[in-house]
């Protein structure tokens, strides 16, 4: 070992020791903060499925590869970071000796080949990612960027470090080639040999380059250790855990569908025994999120995928799912010294810590602890009320997040506290909640008019209890019973089922609201009151039947989602299908035959609670394609090809603006979401905009009328389109739009 190698060895050891010590301290701090969260035993179930999902989403990059170039580039960078960590380890042998190398595998040709090409592709990929970041910088002209609000220096720093480490790896190899100390052949390591051809024969160069590589790597570790909220770096480690602990690992796509029930101490809250002074009602303090919530906040990469897909953000609202998560993350870590010292408020608002415990807590942490979780800028709130109430719970954020952050659950948990304890929510939604409590529907319509939609049909619609047997219970829903446009859909579905010979029955006045708007706005009490009543009614209607024969067909995706995914939390196990699924089956099996083609072009708007939340994408398209072709198309793929797709469709479909109980709240900030979506639909040139949800129908119809295009573009349900093709003469009377019921 020469004098240069002695110096490089000492310097490498010193900077590594400092970096490792700081990193261990940072990890301990992060673990301590995450453990402040509430228990959540459900995260430890089915570890086999969790492991497979985690490996698929990380090694397979199943979420990131939806974005083609970005996903592929990120995959090579990720693999490069993992595999080329071996080259960083090898550098420790090279600072000691210019001829040093990784023991055992260092001399394998396969090792040289793999690391060479991963390094080459890693350099290309990181340059692509840098170019994308620069091109989408927040200061660029032409609109908002998905990086708006991200800590840009951190992204540039991480990418620069990756690039520098990869380059230094080739510099080391080049010097080894130049000094004839490189064991791998030219065919396996072409770039290393090409670089060696221009570098001098300098043994010391190997050790110096290795030291620089170690210094760059350890500087990166020191920087992220001193910045525990640096998600753009820490996600490399935390993403594996966050994906493993996602709430529904066996579910295709995102973890959407059912909302999590209200929890207290890791158990679902029982409203019959709950006490606000002893049980947690929603989230009022950051430490009242579960530990998985705090892990979510820590894992955010600041990539802005959620932000770029959010309907609120895209229409000028203050909500960005990314910025919401970053605000909660920064607040949690700033408040952590106070919490870790024993501080915190109990459920009555009293301080839990003694003066002695808080005596040495940093004044900034104490100030952070005094901030309300929800509050205006004047109140010093962490999350502004306008941010909280802008969410449509469409799930685009969760669907696009590459590390499975559960934004919607966190937003609804905060809403729950605001509604149930603070009684603080948009005033216009209060009418809807009172109607749900008093009338059993959000419109406040008389219950004895629930069956009025059946008047004028040329067949009898049976009620449960009036017939001995039926294949499907037709869940009409509040919109389908009371709202004028939705009643046309209800009548169309009933007519088509009757035409196909499907036996069905309705609950009539025995049906009440599914509770979806109450639950999404945060009023879990009203939801459970309505849901328990419905579960009891449905269980009685299906008495004696096994689950596979407890079939429900629903026209509203919100009812479809609630009955199928959430009533199981309250003892209601049913097989629930959306009407487009049943109609697609009836067309495919020849029980319904489209005969009249639909002219003028048809585009389809995916309802959030049918598409993203429940992965029902193909059936409505197959029904519409068959109607467009007048039954000429033979296969499902052929039928679906008759549609004119909007640019944002399927998983990336844009919300209509009605979800999350926004249907009953005024849209006062920015551009109206429904107008944005209508403009996209109209740009396709289609004369018919088909929907599969009564809320979407109302919102898009309002948007079309607002654009003054009511004579050129028609918004109708998939069922009505099919009815016009199956029974064109009968459907003629339903073409004229009626005003929306108040």
Helices (H), 661-717: 673-683, 694-706
264-271's contacts with Cβ under 8 Å and 24+ in sequence apart are: 265/38, 265/39, 266/38, 266/39, 266/40, 266/41, 266/290, 268/569, 269/524, 271/524, 271/525, 271/528
Q: Answer whether residue 106 shows pLDDT above 60.
A: yes
State what percent of residues in the chain have pLDDT above 70: 96
3-state secondary structure of 576: strand
Q: Using an 8 Å Cβ cutoff, are 375 and 385 in contact?
A: yes
513: nearest Cα among 608, 408, 609, 438: 438
As a whole number, mean pLDDT of residues 685-712 equals 93
Summarize pLDDT for 301-348 with one digit per residue, the tens: 999 999 999 999 999 999 999 999 999 999 999 999 999 999 999 888
Q: What pLDDT score was predicted for residue 740?
A: 39
End-to-end CA distance of the chain: 87
Q: Answer whether residue 282 shows pLDDT above 90.
A: yes
Model confidence band, residue 737 (pLDDT cutoffs 50, 70, 90):
very low
Model confidence band, residue 741 (pLDDT cutoffs 50, 70, 90):
very low
Q: Answer whether residue 30 shows pLDDT above 90.
A: yes
To which H or E segment does residue 272 belong? none
Q: What pLDDT score was predicted for residue 142?
A: 64
Q: How many H helices and E strands in the chain?
A: 31, 9
186-189's contacts with Cβ under 8 Å and 24+ in sequence apart are: 188/109, 188/112, 188/113, 188/116, 189/112, 189/113, 189/116
223: which 2 tokens? Answer: 């920087």
Q: Answer whether residue 578 shows pLDDT above 50.
A: yes
State what percent of residues in the chain have pLDDT above 90: 74
Q: Answer whether residue 734 shows pLDDT above 80.
A: no
Model confidence band, residue 208 (pLDDT cutoffs 50, 70, 90):
very high
Q: What pLDDT score was predicted for residue 596?
A: 87
Q: What pLDDT score was predicted for residue 257?
A: 81
Model confidence band, residue 631 (pLDDT cutoffs 50, 70, 90):
low
Distance CA 63, CA 60 (A): 9
What one-character-per-residue DSSP string does 489-532 give? HHHHHHHHHHHHT--EEB-GGG----SHHHHHHT-HHHHHHHHH
Model confidence band, residue 683 (pLDDT cutoffs 50, 70, 90):
very high
Distance CA 455, CA 727 (A): 19
Q: What pLDDT score was predicted for residue 739?
A: 41
Model confidence band, residue 634 (pLDDT cutoffs 50, 70, 90):
low
Within 10 angstroms of residue 233's Cβ, the number of other Cβ atoms is: 20
Distance CA 515, CA 477 (A): 10
Q: What pLDDT score was predicted for residue 697?
A: 95
Within 10 angstroms of residue 89's Cβ, the number of other Cβ atoms is: 13
Summarize pLDDT for 362-404 with one digit per residue, the tens: 999 999 999 999 999 999 999 999 999 999 999 999 999 999 9
Model confidence band, residue 736 (pLDDT cutoffs 50, 70, 90):
very low
Summarize pLDDT for 475-487 with one digit per residue, the tens: 999 999 999 999 9
* CA-CA-CA-CA dihedral for 346, 350, 355, 356, to nearest 10: -20
pTM of the model: 0.92
Q: Using an 8 Å Cβ cutoff, are 182 and 90 in contact?
A: no
Neighbouring C-alpha atoms within 13 Å toward the C-beta of 515: 24
Q: Using an 8 Å Cβ cutoff, are 734 and 708 in contact?
A: no
Q: Using an 8 Å Cβ cutoff, are 295 and 242 in contact?
A: yes
Within 10 angstroms of residue 212's Cβ, the number of other Cβ atoms is: 19
Distance CA 127, CA 542 (A): 61
Extract the runs of DSSP E, i.e. beta strands, from 397-446.
Answer: none
Distance CA 534, CA 511 (A): 7
Q: Using an 8 Å Cβ cutoff, are 158 and 220 in contact?
A: yes
Cβ-proximal residues to 295 (8 Å cutoff; 6+ apart), any chain:
34, 37, 238, 241, 242, 245
Q: Using an 8 Å Cβ cutoff, are 461 and 454 in contact?
A: yes
Q: What pLDDT score was predicted for residue 513?
A: 96
Within 10 angstroms of residue 571's Cβ, the number of other Cβ atoms is: 11
Model confidence band, residue 15 (pLDDT cutoffs 50, 70, 90):
very high
| Average confidence score pLDDT of the chain | 91
Comparing 95-99, 175-179, 418-422, 553-557, the range with the smallest average pLDDT is 95-99
Q: Answer whether residue 601 shows pLDDT above 50.
A: yes
Model confidence band, residue 283 (pLDDT cutoffs 50, 70, 90):
very high
Q: What pLDDT score was predicted for residue 3?
A: 86
As a whole number, mean pLDDT of residues 256-285 equals 89
What one-character-per-residue DSSP string does 118-158 give? HHHHHHHHHHHHHHHHHHT-TTSSSS--TTTTS-HHHHHHH
366: nearest Cα among 384, 340, 346, 328: 340
What one-character-per-residue DSSP string does 20-42 give? HHHHHHHHHHHHHHHTTSBP-GG
Within 10 angstroms of residue 680's Cβ, the number of other Cβ atoms is: 18
Residue 351 is classified by DSSP as B
Q: Answer whether residue 293 shows pLDDT above 50.
A: yes
Q: What pLDDT score was predicted for residue 742?
A: 34
Comparing 20-34, 62-76, 592-606, 721-735, the range with the smallest average pLDDT is 721-735
In a 10 Å sphere around its CB, with 0-12 CB exposed, 13-18 middle and 19+ buried, how is residue 421 labelled?
Answer: middle
As a whole number, mean pLDDT of residues 351-370 equals 92
Distance CA 98, CA 108 (A): 18
Q: What pLDDT score was predicted for residue 738?
A: 43
Q: Answer whether residue 657 shows pLDDT above 80.
A: yes
Q: Using an 8 Å Cβ cutoff, are 393 and 334 in contact?
A: no
Q: What pLDDT score was predicted for residue 709?
A: 87
Distance CA 580, CA 592 (A): 13
């Amino acid at each position: 070992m020469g004098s240069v190698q002695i110096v490089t060895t000492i310097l490498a050891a010193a900077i590594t020791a400092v970096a490792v010590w700081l990193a261990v301290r940072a990890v301990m701090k992060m673990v301590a903060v995450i453990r402040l969260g509430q228990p959540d035993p459900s995260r430890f179930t089915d570890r086999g499925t969790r492991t497979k999902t985690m490996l698929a989403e990380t090694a397979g990059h199943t979420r990131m590869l939806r974005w083609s170039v970005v996903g592929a580039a990120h995959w090579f960078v990720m693999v490069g970071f993992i595999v080329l960590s071996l080259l960083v380890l090898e550098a420790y042998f090279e600072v000691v000796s210019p001829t040093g190398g990784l023991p055992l595998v260092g001399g394998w040709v396969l090792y040289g080949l793999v690391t060479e090409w991963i390094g080459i592709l890693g350099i290309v990929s990181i340059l692509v990612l840098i170019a994308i970041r620069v091109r989408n910088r927040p200061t660029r002209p032409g609109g908002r960027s998905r990086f708006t609000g991200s800590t840009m220096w951190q992204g540039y720093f991480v990418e620069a470090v990756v690039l520098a480490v990869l380059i230094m790896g080739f510099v080391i190899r080049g010097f080894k080639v130049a000094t004839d100390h490189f064991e791998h052949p030219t065919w396996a390591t072409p770039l290393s040999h090409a670089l060696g051809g221009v570098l001098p024969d300098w043994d010391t160069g190997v050790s110096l380059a290795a030291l620089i590589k170690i210094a760059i790597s350890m500087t990166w570790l020191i920087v992220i250790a001193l910045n525990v909220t640096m998600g753009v770096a820490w996600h490399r480690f935390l993403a594996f855990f966050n994906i493993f602990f996602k709430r529904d690992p066996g579910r295709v796509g995102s973890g959407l569908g059912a909302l999590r029930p209200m929890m207290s101490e890791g158990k679902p809250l029982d409203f019959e025994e709950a006490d606000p002074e002893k049980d947690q009602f929603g989230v009022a303090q950051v430490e009242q999120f579960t530990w998985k919530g705090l892990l979510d906040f820590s894992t955010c990469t600041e990539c802005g995928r959620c932000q770029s897909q959010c309907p609120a953000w895209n229409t000028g609202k203050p909500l960005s799912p990314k910025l919401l998560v970053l605000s909660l993350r920064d607040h949690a870590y700033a408040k952590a010294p106070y919490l870790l010292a024993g501080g915190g408020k109990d459920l009555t608002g009293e301080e839990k810590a003694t003066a002695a415990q808080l005596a040495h807590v940093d004044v900034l942490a104490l100030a952070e602890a005094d901030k309300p979780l929800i509050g205006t800028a004047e109140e010093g709130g962490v999350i502004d009320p306008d941010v909280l109430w802008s969410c449509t719970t469409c799930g685009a954020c969760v669907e696009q997040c590459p590390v499975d952050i559960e934004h919607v659950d966190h937003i609804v948990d905060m809403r729950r506290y605001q509604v149930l304890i603070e009684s603080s929510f948009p005033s216009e939604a209060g009418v809807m909640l009172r109607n749900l409590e008093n009338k059993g529907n959000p419109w406040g319509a008389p219950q004895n008019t629930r069956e009025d939609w059946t008047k004028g049909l040329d067949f009898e619609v049976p009620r449960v209890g009036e017939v001995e047997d039926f294949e499907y219970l037709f869940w009409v829903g509040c919109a389908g019973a009371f709202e004028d446009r939705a009643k046309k859909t209800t009548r169309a579905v009933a007519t088509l089922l009757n035409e196909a010979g499907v036996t069905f029955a309705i609950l009539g006045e025995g049906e009440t609201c599914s509770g979806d708007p109450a639950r999404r706005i945060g009023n879990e009490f009203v939801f459970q009151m309505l849901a328990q009543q419905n579960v009891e009614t449905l269980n009685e209607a299906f008495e004696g039947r096994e689950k596979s024969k407890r079939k429900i067909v629903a026209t509203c995706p919100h009812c479809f989602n609630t009955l199928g995914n959430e009533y199981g939390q309250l003892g209601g196990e049913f097989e629930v299908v959306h009407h487009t699924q049943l109609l697609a089956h009836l067309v495919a099996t020849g029980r319904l035959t489209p005969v009249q083609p639909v002219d003028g072009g048809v585009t389809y708007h995916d309802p959030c609670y049918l598409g993203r939340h429940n992965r029902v994408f193909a059936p409505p398209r197959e029904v519409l394609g068959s109607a467009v072709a007048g039954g000429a198309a033979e296969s499902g793929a052929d039928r679906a090809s008759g549609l004119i797709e909007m640019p944002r469709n399927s998983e990336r479909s844009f919300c209509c603006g009605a979800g999350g109980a926004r249907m009953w709240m005024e849209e006062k900030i920015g551009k109206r979401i429904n107008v944005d979506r209508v403009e996209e639909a109209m740009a396709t040139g289609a004369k018919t905009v088909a929907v599969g949800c009564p809320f979407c129908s109302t919102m898009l119809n309002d948007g079309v009328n607002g654009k003054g295009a009511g004579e050129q573009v028609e918004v109708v349900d998939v069922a009505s389109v099919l009815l016009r093709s199956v029974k064109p003469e009968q459907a003629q009377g339903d073409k004229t739009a009626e005003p929306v019921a108040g």
